Structure 1
Amino acid sequence: MYTKFLASIILGSTFFMRVMGHMNMMSPPPMRHRDNPHTQTVDEIYEFPLKTDGSDYPCKGHINALGTPEGQPVATWAAGSAQTFSLEGSGTHYGGSCQVSLSYDKGETFKVIKSWPGSCPNRENGSDQTFNFNIPKEAPSGEEVIFAWTWNNREREFFQNCAVVTITGGGAGISGLPDVLVSNIGNGCLSPLTTAELKYPDPGTAVELGDGEYPLVLPTGNC
């Protein structure tokens, strides 16, 4: 009887954690997401933050899917085009700051194409949040480009989901764009805790400010 009772508690707790969840990118579908048509093994905790020791950076360790059937592109975007991405989940942690970026070197570097300092994800809304951005006209063409969404929340957690896309009609390059801000994964960079939202030291030229409910504060440490 006790064993069954304990098992039911564990199962219920697991279900509760799954229901509460966090937020994750839903579209374009990340590698090993349940909606990715190329997924062979679903990552059941892709909505969780990256590990604090950085061992699953970049892309929650899914970068090894590149070059395999699971790493095939899920979208084709033209350089200079307007695009959207969407988030799902219930745990917005009442905001934070987000960026989207592109990587052409299998996750070695990510170049920011838009930043949302504050109120990202949207505070009051849970699932099915949609955000607008543009692919830079200078973005080179490529068949295995990584599109990444990153989230620095007010609990000093760092999230990253990555989808593989194809870029067409590309330009000369985006090396001049800022690098994505990576924090809270043992790299010596810490985002604000609880009372503020992250102010990106270099957010790039495409910036959408939040609602101003919390002050924006720069990260500390080696960022």
Structure 2
Amino acid sequence: MSTMAASAYGHMILQFPVPFGSPDNSPLQPSGADFPCKQGPNVYKINKMNELNVGSSYELNVAGGADHGGGSCQLLVTLDKEPTKASTWKKIHVIEGACPAAGKTFPFTVPPEVPNGVATFGVAWYSRQAGQPELYMNCAPITVSGSSSDASQFTQLPDAEFANIQPFSQTCKVPQNMAATFANPGKYSTRIGSGPFADVCGKGVAGEGEGAAPSAPAPLLSAPAAPPTASLAIPSAPAAPSSPTAPGGAGGVFGGDGTCSQEGAVVCNGESQFGICNHGKIVFQPVAAGTKCQNGQIAKREFRHRAQRTKIN
């Protein structure tokens, strides 16, 4: 099976635009070692050049089964053909909330600020729910036409906003169970659903006032706009689902569904599965390795060996 065919049980992975090489569907390392584009062997091997026209509409397709309750996506472009850590990424479209989502695509239009020529498209998304705040990123080669060769307008697009990984900040993280919002989403942006939302640095919840601003892109991470206070509270344990149809124990079947009453609540199916209440329905999926679902929260597991070890905080 091709590595580009996302497993129904795997993390989400870019399908269109057609990505470079054999894309990796795991999150970026917190150290930033594989930033950008999940750096690795043959990461910039071109499988297919994506021809994109300015003003035309396309469907972003990030497929897979483990969307971690959705999150927020940045659709990005850099003029570098083989991006490095020093590359400048600009937002061409932002989707705040419910992105990515299993079985769903998202429309976007190539804006006129992107100049003609070969460039690199990137999609970076923050998962709403996982064992820890995570940032995913896949990239694709593009050739843009229908614009001009003048890149001066491209510099006016807002810079990408990266968090959860170094060097941007080791303390700047999107709070768990929140969909990220951005200090400067730009004029090409969409917000989906009712959240709850928190900015990419968790201002007022996690990382507030900690760490120096990164060298690039500094302006967007150094002073993000504070979201409403109510949106920053980590939700308390939700009410139990009204009539869950999936088994309640840790041996529950992945992909089972149920019903619920509290919109946006985290619902546990034993300790090994969780789901988000979405319009009265739940689709359960496994928690990340090393975590458990308990009392409506995702938490780290305690690891015990033959000799008692220190609890992981």
TM class, shorter-length: 0.7 to 0.9
Q: CA deviation at 1:120?
A: 1.1
Match of 1:201 in 2: 183
Shift of 1:19: 5.7
In structure 2, the residue matched to 1:37 is: none
Task: State the SS of the aligned residue for 1:208.
Answer: strand
Aligned equivalents of 2:12, 2:191: Cα separation in 1: 20
Q: For residue 71 of structure 1, report the CA deviation from its aligned partner.
A: 2.9
The Cα of 1:83 is off from its aligned counterpart by: 1.6
Deviations 1:22-81 (A, max 9, x none): 111111221113xxxxxxxxx5xx111111110111111159654xxx236521111222
The counterpart of 2:99, out of the listed 120, 130, 134, is: 120
**SS of residue paired to 2:156:** coil
**8 Å contact from structure 2 (residues 27, 135) kept in 1:** yes
Q: Which amino acid aligns with 1:86?
A: N
Contiguous gaps of at least 5 residues in structure 2: 1-6, 202-206, 214-220, 222-313
Instruction: Say which is worse superposed, 54-63 or 106-115, in terms of deviation.
Output: 54-63
1:182 to 2:193 alignment: no
SS at structure 1 position matched to 2:195: coil
Contact 2:18 2:47 in 1 (8 A): no
Scaled by the length of structure 2, the TM-score of the pair is 0.55
With over 3 angstroms needed to count, the CA separation of the structure-2 counterparts of 1:76 and 1:63, relative to structure 1, is: farther
Task: Indicate the SS of the match to 2:39.
Answer: helix
Instruction: Give the CA deviation at 1:213.
Output: 3.3
Distance in 1, matches of 2:111 and 2:67, equals: 28
Q: 1:199 to 1:110 in 2, by over 3 A?
A: same
- Equivalent pairs: percent with the same residue? 28
- C-alpha deviation, 1:148, in angstroms: 0.6
User: What is the distance in 1 between the residues matched to 2:197 and 2:51?
Assistant: 37
Q: Please give the per-residue CA displacement for 1:120-175, whole angstroms capped at 9, x wherever unaligned.
A: 113xxx2x4211111111211112x1111110123410111000011112233311
Shift in Å at residue 218 of structure 1?
4.5
Decide whether the 8 Å contact of 1:113 with 1:136 is kept in 2. Answer: yes
Query: The residue matched to 1:175 in structure 2 has which SS?
Result: helix
Q: Residue 124 of structure 2 aligns with which residue?
A: 150
Query: Which residue is equivalent to 2:269?
Result: none
CA shift, 1:94, in A, is: 0.3
1:50 aligns with 2:28: yes
The number of equivalent residue pairs is: 187
Match of 1:78 in 2: 53
8 Å Cα contact 2:133/2:175 also seen in 1 = yes
C-alpha spacing 1:196/1:103, structure 2 compared with 1 (3 Å) = same
d(CA) in 1 for partners of 2:30 and 2:43? Answer: 22
* Match of residue 3 from structure 1: none
**Structure 1's 218 and 56: CA in aligned 2 closer, same or farther, altered over 3 A?**
closer
Q: Distance in 2 between matches of 1:100 and 1:93?
A: 19
Give the aligned residue type for 1:177: L
Distance 1:166 1:72, change over 3 A: farther
Equivalences for residues 38-117 of structure 1 within 5 A:
43=23, 46-61=24-39, 65-66=43-44, 70-71=45-46, 73-105=48-80, 106-107=82-83, 108-117=87-96
Would the aligned equivalents of 2:52 and 2:143 in 1 still touch at CA under 8 Å?
A: yes
Q: Please state whether the residue corresponding to 2:38 is helix, strand or coil.
A: helix
Residues in 2 aligned to 1:31 and 1:61: alpha-carbon distance in whole angstroms: 11
Partner of 2:18: 29
Decide which moves more: 110-119 or 210-219.
210-219
- Residues 213, 169 of structure 1: alpha-carbon distance in 2 compared, 3 angstrom cutoff: closer
Give distance in 1, aligned partners of 2:53 and 2:41: 23
Structure 1 runs not aligned, ≥5 long: 1-17, 34-42
2:110 alignment counterpart: 135
Higher RCO (CA-CA < 8 Å; seq separation 6+): 1
